């Protein structure tokens, strides 16, 4: 006879056994799961809020977490579904990441406007980013939009820090806070703090608003190296389009920088850099400011020279300086085939080129035109040496073509006599396509001298043996002639 107590005991024993079995099964399932997620990642994954499966993640954050936990054993690609992701994200060094085992986040549709990573600006400087890379390496973001919204002061979009290297941002859109007053780096679209972040690339992106397009700093004792900022559109960054400090082997090339707001804006601002190339950039500041400013620069001689070449700079407003170069020390800086065009109205404060305290600076084959009332060239360097200045076009509608160490100089001939520079330079108002398009409408400035280091122009067109002055090369007219028909006199041929 089975009593009620016996039944209860039997039931409890069965439950204990089942619980024990389930516990053992659960343990093995847990171990198997841990082993599964601990396996390094490789191959193609998706980020899709509506997706499913072991290779799909419903957010950037979950994908970042998986990378941090698992690492990678081969190339990893995340194809991201068209959607808006409201997230604040950070990613560090990923175990196994390398040149071949790299990590890519990209739009699945290939449309950068349809994958949006966004986060609101705030009043706290803590967590001031939408995306933060700290020591991250070999990570690429491609064809996506990353932005900050709102009007609060802490509005950086992306921050790189802690030794980031070999990271790339390609064909993306970056949207910062729209500024109407100066705000410093807290509102920069790209910000790299005082650390050493080497070999990072920013190519063919569209940056909109923010206080700085790029605020990119190394350290004074250890410069960052091999940063590439190329072929980007930087539109309406209120204070600086590109601001770089403590950089070696820096390439700033093919960027279009536009700022029609702040009258003291700067297109490209550089300090403490060596062996760099600032080439083929187009800068348009219709309300004035400074096109390119290089301050306290230390460059090395010979093959390690820094080049400013084939840039087009258009400046308006009241006060404008096209290229302001201060304190080039220790070697050579070369300014070749740039075109600078000013219409600023302040006659004493505007100049197409300003050189101050220079050592061994070559200024050759440039167009410096000021249709306002200021100077074409302003040079101040007591006891310094400009290595060579020649084959330029210096033109102004003002009273003085230039200023040289305490003296206003009215004509090109007087400039040559006093400075000993520009023996082969000319004084001509060039014919540009328009005030905003500084391509030449004729080849009448074929007064330059060839350089083996400058083989093409702003557009990539080959330089001729007798090159044009300035950033634009126009192919020379053909000079060959041949006889096609003899009309008179008649010619008799002997048989």
**Strand, helix or coil at 241?**
strand
Of the three residues 221, 240, 258, the one that is the final residue of a domain is: 258
Residue 323 sits in the same domain as residue 235? no
Q: Is residue 9 part of a domain?
A: no
Residue 117 sits in the same domain as residue 202? yes
The Cα-based distances of 207 to 174, 214, 234, 258 in angstroms read 5, 9, 5, 10
Pick from 285, 280, 386: nearest CA to 332: 386
**Residues 6 or more apart from 451 whose CB is under 8 A from it?**
336, 364, 365
Q: What is the CATH number of the domain that holds 233?
A: 2.160.20
The Cα-based distances of 65 to 70, 126, 144, 157, 166 in angstroms read 8, 21, 20, 21, 21
What's the pLDDT tens digit per position in 141-168? Answer: 999 999 999 999 899 999 999 999 999 9
What is the count of structural domains for the chain? Answer: 2
Residue 81 sits in the same domain as residue 202? yes
pLDDT for 302: 53
What's the pLDDT tens digit per position in 388-408? Answer: 899 999 999 999 999 998 899
Q: Is residue 135 part of a domain?
A: yes
The Cα-based distances of 458 to 234, 243, 255, 310, 323 in angstroms read 18, 22, 11, 5, 17
Q: Is the pTM of this model over 0.85?
A: yes
Residue 47's CB is within 10 A of a number of other CB atoms, namely 23
471 Rama sector, left if φ>0, alpha if ψ -120 to 50, beta otherwise: alpha
Residue 52 sits in the same domain as residue 155? yes
Note down the domain range covering 410: 319-483
pLDDT for 21: 32
Whole-angstrom distance, CA of residue 160 vs CA of residue 177: 19
Q: Is residue 5 part of a domain?
A: no
pLDDT for 214: 97
User: How buried is residue 444: exposed, middle or buried, by Cβ count under 10 Å (0-12/13-18/19+)?
Assistant: middle
Residue 382 sits in the same domain as residue 466? yes
Q: Is residue 409 part of a domain?
A: yes
| Confidence band for 308, pLDDT divided at 50, 70 and 90 | very high
Element (H, E) at 8: helix 4-38
Residue 220 sits in the same domain as residue 352? no
Q: Is residue 72 part of a domain?
A: yes
Pick from 330, 338, 335: nearest CA to 358: 330
Of the three residues 237, 258, 279, the one that is the final residue of a domain is: 258
Whole-angstrom distance, CA of residue 401 vs CA of residue 411: 6
- % residues pLDDT > 90 (the chain): 67
What's the pLDDT tens digit per position in 165-202? Answer: 999 999 999 999 999 888 888 999 999 987 899 999 99
pLDDT for 305: 78
**Structure-model confidence comparison of residues 14 and 222, the more confident one:** 222
Tokens 């083996």 correspond to: 452
Residue 231 sits in the same domain as residue 324? no
Residue 103 sits in the same domain as residue 214? yes
Candidate from 194-198, 234-238, 355-359, 477-481 with smallest mean pLDDT? 477-481
User: What number of CA atoms fall less than 13 Å from residue 191's CA on the CB side?
Assistant: 24
**Structure-model confidence comparison of residues 298 and 55, the more confident one:** 55
Whole-angstrom distance, CA of residue 73 vs CA of residue 198: 23
Please answer whether residues 337 and 362 qualify as being in contact, where contact means their C-beta atoms are separated by less than 8 angstroms. no
Of the three residues 205, 226, 258, the one that is the final residue of a domain is: 258
């Amino acid at each position: 006879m089975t009593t009620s107590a016996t039944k209860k005991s039997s039931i409890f024993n069965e439950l204990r056994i089942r619980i024990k079995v389930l516990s053992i099964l659960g343990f093995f399932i847990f171990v198997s799961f841990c082993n599964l997620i601990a396996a390094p990642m490789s191959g193609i994954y998706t980020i899709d809020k509506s997706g499913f499966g072991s290779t799909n993640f419903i957010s950037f954050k979950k994908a970042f977490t998986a990378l941090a936990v698992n690492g990678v054993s081969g190339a990893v690609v995340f194809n991201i579904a068209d959607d808006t992701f409201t997230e604040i994200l950070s990613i560090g060094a990923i175990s196994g990441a390398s040149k071949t085992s790299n990590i890519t986040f990209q739009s699945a549709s290939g449309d950068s406007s349809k994958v949006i990573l966004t986060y609101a600006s705030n009043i706290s400087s803590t967590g001031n980013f939408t995306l933060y890379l700290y020591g991250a390496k070999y990570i690429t973001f491609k064809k996506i939009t990353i932005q900050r919204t709102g009007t609060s002061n802490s509005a950086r979009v992306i921050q790189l820090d802690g030794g980031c290297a070999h990271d790339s941002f390609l064909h993306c859109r970056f949207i910062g806070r729209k500024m109407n007053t100066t705000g410093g780096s807290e509102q920069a679209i790209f910000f790299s703090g005082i650390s050493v972040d080497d070999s990072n690339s920013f190519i063919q992106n569209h940056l909109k608003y923010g206080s700085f397009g790029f605020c990119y700093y190394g350290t004074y004792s250890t410069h960052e190296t091999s940063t590439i900022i190329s072929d980007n559109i930087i539109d309406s960054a209120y204070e600086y389009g590109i601001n770089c400090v403590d950089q070696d082997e820096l390439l700033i090339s093919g960027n279009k920088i536009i700022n029609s707001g702040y009258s003291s804006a700067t297109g490209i601002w550089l300090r403490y850099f060596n062996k760099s190339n600032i080439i083929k950039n187009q800068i348009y500041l219709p309300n004035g400011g400074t096109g390119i400013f290089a301050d306290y620069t230390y460059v090395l001689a010979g093959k390690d020279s820094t080049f400013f070449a084939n840039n087009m700079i258009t400046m308006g407003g009241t006060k404008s300086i096209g290229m302001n170069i201060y304190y080039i020390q220790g070697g050579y800086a070369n300014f070749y085939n740039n075109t600078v065009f000013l219409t600023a109205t302040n006659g004493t404060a505007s100049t197409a080129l300003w050189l101050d305290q220079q050592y061994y600076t070559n200024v050759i084959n440039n167009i410096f035109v000021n249709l306002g009332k200021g100077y074409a060239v302003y040079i101040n360097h007591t006891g310094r040496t400009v290595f060579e200045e020649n084959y330029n076009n210096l033109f102004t509608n003002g009273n003085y073509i230039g200023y040289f160490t305490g003296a206003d100089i009215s004509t090109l001939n007087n400039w040559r006599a006093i400075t000993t520079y520009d023996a082969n330079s000319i004084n001509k108002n060039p014919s540009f396509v328009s005030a905003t398009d500084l391509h030449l409408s004729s080849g009448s400035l074929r007064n330059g001298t060839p350089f083996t280091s400058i083989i093409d122009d702003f557009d990539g067109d080959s330089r001729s043996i007798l090159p044009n002055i300035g950033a634009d090369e126009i192919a020379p007219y053909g000079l060959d002639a041949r006889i096609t028909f003899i009309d008179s006199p008649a010619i008799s041929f002997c048989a």
